[in-house]
Amino acid sequence: EMQLVESGGDLVQPGGSLRLSCAASGFSFTNYWVTWVRRAPGKGLEWVGNINQDGSMKFYVDSVRGRFTISKDNAKNSVYLQMNSLRTEDTAVYYCARDQRFFDYWGRGTLVTVSS
Amino acid sequence: DIVMTQTPVSLSVTPGQPASISCKSSQSLLDSDGKTYLYWYVQKPVQSPQVLIYEVSNRFPGVPDRFSGSGSGTDFTLKISRVEAEDVGVYYCVQSVQHPKTFGQGTRLEIK
């Protein structure tokens, strides 16, 4: 069974950092792009960024570019979202998803709360 | 960036009645490979999002045939022929023709 599991969400102060992880089972990240999507409280889904099969290509939404970095460890079948200089508006549930132009498998999400 | 605009923002439907959601993009979603990269997702309460329709009109495996997608270029529609109670949730259109990928603002479907 194909599964994605996010972890690493926490309460962090503005300006702080956090690293989220996304682990896959049932398929190999070696063969797929992976996307991060977030949903802030009371708002809709927002695409955050993605990474290609070998980690050589990455794209980000403007609001996180320069602060967030996506990386991949194919040996561990995991993808990471390093979030620096966090802002209150980054508070959201963060989902990872397998990306084949569309997002066919999603994790359950991990909650990031940025607050003092 | 491509802006995706959905209407209506919300709709309340009696079970068994049809529902329709419109999605308009600020640029054509037709790629040079001849495919149109428009997708529909739903996020049901306390669940992760799930894909319903890919490339405008193709139902993802397991999606009931009461869901259908249509459109071209910049104008797209998701239709539910007969709404059921389990269809409650927020529906999103998404474009993947270029980065950054962008979601519509969502349409909340409620059951009367």
pLDDT, position A99: 97
Q: Say yes or no: A108 contacts chain B, CB-CB below 8 A.
A: yes
**A-chain residue closest to B102, CA distance:** A47
Distance from CA of A106 to the nearest CA of B (A): 7
pLDDT, position B14: 97
Which pLDDT tens digit goes with each residue over B10-47? 999 999 999 999 999 999 999 999 999 999 999 999 99
pLDDT, position B53: 98
Q: Are B60 and A95 within 8 A, CB to CB?
A: no
Q: Are B51 and A103 within 8 A, CB to CB?
A: yes
Q: Residue A94 — very low, low, confident or very high, per pLDDT cuts 50/70/90?
A: very high
Q: Residue A31 — very low, low, confident or very high, per pLDDT cuts 50/70/90?
A: very high
Indicate the length of chain A as a whole number: 116
Angle at B97 between CA B96 and CA B103, to 5 degrees: 40
CB neighbour burial string for A26-50, b if at least 16 within 10 angstroms, e if fewer: eeebeebbbbbbbbeeeebbbbbbb
Which pLDDT tens digit goes with each residue over B57-78? 999 999 999 999 999 999 999 9
pLDDT, position A43: 97
Distance from CA of B39 to the nearest CA of A (A): 7
Residue B64's Cβ-side half-sphere holds a number of Cα atoms within 13 Å equal to 10
Which pLDDT tens digit goes with each residue over A45-71? 999 999 999 999 999 999 999 999 999
Chain B residues within an 8 Å CB radius of A47: 94, 100-103
Q: Quick one: average pLDDT of A23-44?
A: 96
**B-chain residue closest to A45, CA distance:** B103
Which pLDDT tens digit goes with each residue over B97-108? 999 999 999 999
Cα separation, A95 vs A47, whole angstroms? 10
The DSSP code sequence of A62-76 is TTTBTTEEEEEETTT
Q: Are B100 and A62 within 8 A, CB to CB?
A: yes
| Arithmetic mean of pLDDT over chain A | 97
Whole-number percent of chain A with pLDDT over 90: 97
**A-chain residue closest to B100, CA distance:** A61
